[in-house]
A and B are shown apart, each in its own frame.
Chain A
C-alpha cells in the first residue's frame, strides 16, 4: 500500500512537472534595438505579452545585421532545430524555400486567415512571399524610398527643388541636370559638393529600379531560373550606362562611399539630392534637433526615367518558420500574434519602420496628427502611394543570394569605371553558371 502511495505521488508530481513545462520558441532576429524601442514607446514588452496570452515563451537570439543571413545559412544547412522562427530578408524567400530552410504557412492557416492576411498587406509584400500558391513566410516589415533634398544648395544654384508631390515627380534627367549645375556653382565658391547620392549605393535593393523604370525588368527570367537575356537586355544596358555616366562622365556622385556612410555625408551638407529609405527621417530630425544640421531640407518622390515609368524599391524583413523545428505549432502561434493589426500598429508607431500590413499602417497615419506635419506628412503624401502603386519587388529566384552579391559587384565595378556593357555580360555569365544547381527543380 505504502509502495503504491509513493508511486502514485511520483506519477502525479511528474505529470504536473511536464504539464507546467513551458514551450520556448527560439527567435533568430537582428532587431534587438527595435524590441527595446517598442517597449519604451508602448509601455509593454512585445514578447512578454505573447507569453501572457499564449503561455508560450519566446527566446530571442540576436545577431548583428550582416551575420543573421550567414547564421541562417549554416544552421539550416545543418538542419538545426533552432531557431524555430527567424527573420528573412524577403527576396530570399524562394531561395530558402527551395533549399528547405522554411516551412510554407498554408497548411497551418485556414483559407479565411490566408485571404484576410493577403488582403491586408501591400501587394509587393505578398508577391515576394508567394510561390506556386504557397505562402512561404509572413510579410512583416516594409520599406520605401524617397529623395531627400538639401534646399540651401538648390537655392544657391538658383534651381527650384522638387516638391512633395507624386504628380510632380522629377525624372532622372532633371536630377542629373540639377546635380551638374549645383556641383559647378559650388565649385566656383571653392566648395566640393555632390549632386546625387544613393543611400544604398550599388545595392540591388536600390539600384534595381533603374533598369525596372526603363522596362528592363528584374534581371531574372519569369520562371526564376535564368539571367541570360534578362540581366543584359536593353533596359539594363541603358540603366548601367546611365550609372556609369553619373559616376564617371558627369562625376556628380562620390566614389568609395559605402552605404553605411551615405547618411552622414548628406547630414554634412555636401549632397544636394539623397535617395534613401524613409528610415533616415528620425536620424535627420535628431541632427536638426541637436543643431548639427546646417541646412534646410525637404522630401520629394523617388525619380524615374523620362522614357520609362515610376518604380520604387520596396520589401523588407519577413518572419519564417524553420521546417526542422520541433515546435512548429507554437511558432505559427507566434507568427499569428506578430501579424495582428494591434501589434503591427504598435510596431509601426514605436519603431518607425514601415510595415507590410497596409490596413494597420494606413489607420495609424490617418488618425495620428503627427502625420500632418513635415517630415512625417511624406508618409501620407508619398509613401502610402508608392507602396500601393509603384513599389516593385526584387526578382523571385532561388539563387537570389548569389544574384544580389554579383549584381552589387557589377554596379560597384561600373561605379568605379568598368565598361557597363562588358560588366553586365561578364556577371550574367557567372550568375547563369551559379544558377545551374537550382535548375533541376524547374
Chain B
C-alpha cells in the first residue's frame, strides 16, 4: 500500500514518472541533433524529389511522383539496382564469414595470437581512399604487381579493372580488404564478452570444438553479430570511395553502384531532383533489407 502511494507521488501530471521525465530531458539535446541532422535531411530529400529544376527557364516545378516514374523506367537505374544487389549478396556474407572466422581464431591471449591479430588489424589504419588508390596500382593491367606476379607464374595478364566481367569482383576484394578487419574487431569484442564458464561447462559435457562454436559461441554472439550484419549491410549499400577512385562506375556500367549513380546525378550531371529521388529509393531499399535482416535474426533467436 505504501509502495503504491510512493509511486503516485513520483508521477507527473500526465502519468509520466518523474524519473522518466528527467530521462527524457537528458535525451532532448540528442533528439534535437537527430532531428536536425537525420530526420530533416530525409524530409528535405523526399520533398526535393517531388520537384523538377528547369535550368532553361529557371525555377522549380512541383511534379509529384514523376521523378520516381522516370527513374523506375530508366534501364541505368535498374542496372545499378542489379549491380548493388549482386555486390551486396556477395560482399556481406563474405566479409562477415571471414571476419567471424578470424575473430574466433584470433580470440586468445597468447603472444603470437596478439601479434597476428595486430597484423590483421593493420588495414584499419589505412583510409578506404588510400587503400583504393593502392589497389588500383596493384591491379593495373600493365605495370601492376598482381599482373607481374601472374606473368612470373606463366599466367596471362588479367584486365582486372578494365573488364566488365572482373571489375565488380575487384571492388568486392578491395571492400573486403578494408572491411573485414573492422568488423572482426567488433566480433572479437563480442567474443571476449562471453564468460569462460560456458566453455568450461561445454568441455565438461564433452562437446567438440564445432559443437561449442555452434551451441555456445554463436548464440551468445548473436547481439554483436546482428549489429555487425546490419552495419555492414548499410556500409556496403552506401559504398562510394573505391568506385570514385578506381572505376567511376565503369567499365560499361559494371560497377555503377546506386550510391555512385546518385553522386553522379548530383555532382556531375547537376540533376538534383533525380539524385534526391535515387537517395529516397536507396533509403527505402536499405531500410527494407535491414528490417528483413533483423526480423530473420530475431525469428532465429525465438526458435
Contacts and interface: CB of A to CB of B under 8 A. Distances in A.
A398 interface: yes
A100 B58 contact: yes
Contacts of B58: 100, 441
Interface of B is mostly: loop
B141 A99 contact: no
A405 B249 CA distance: 11
26 contacts: A73-B267, A74-B267, A100-B58, A255-B142, A255-B159, A256-B140, A256-B141, A256-B142, A256-B159, A256-B162, A257-B140, A398-B55, A401-B270, A402-B269, A402-B270, A405-B268, A405-B269, A413-B250, A416-B252, A417-B163, A434-B269, A437-B52, A437-B271, A440-B54, A440-B55, A440-B57
A398 to B, nearest CB: 7
A262 to B, nearest CB: 11
B248 interface: yes
B141 A73 contact: no
Contacts of B142: 254-257, 265
Contacts of B54: 437, 440-441
B56 interface: yes
A254 B55 CA distance: 40
B192 to A, nearest CB: 42
Interface of A: 70, 73-74, 77, 98-100, 254-257, 265, 398, 401-402, 405, 409, 412-413, 415-418, 430, 433-434, 437-442
Given A405-B269, A434-B271, A416 B159 contact: yes
A387 B55 CA distance: 33
B250 A409 contact: yes
B38 to A, nearest CB: 21
Contact of B268 (A98, A402, A418): A402
A294 to B, nearest CB: 17
Contact of A73 (B53, B76, B270): B270
Contacts of B159: 255-256, 416
A416 B56 contact: no
B154 to A, nearest CB: 16
A73 B55 CA distance: 14
Interface string B235-270: 000000000000011111000000000001001111
Given A99-B55, A401-B269, 15 more contacts: A77-B270, A100-B58, A254-B142, A255-B162, A398-B56, A405-B268, A409-B249, A416-B164, A416-B250, A418-B252, A433-B74, A434-B271, A439-B56, A441-B56, A441-B58
B89 to A, nearest CB: 25
Interface in B45-84: 52-58, 74, 76
Contacts of A77: 270, 272
Contacts of B178: none
B161 interface: yes
Nearest to B52: A437
Contact of A413 (B76, B252, B270): B252
Interface in B139-196: 140-142, 159, 161-164
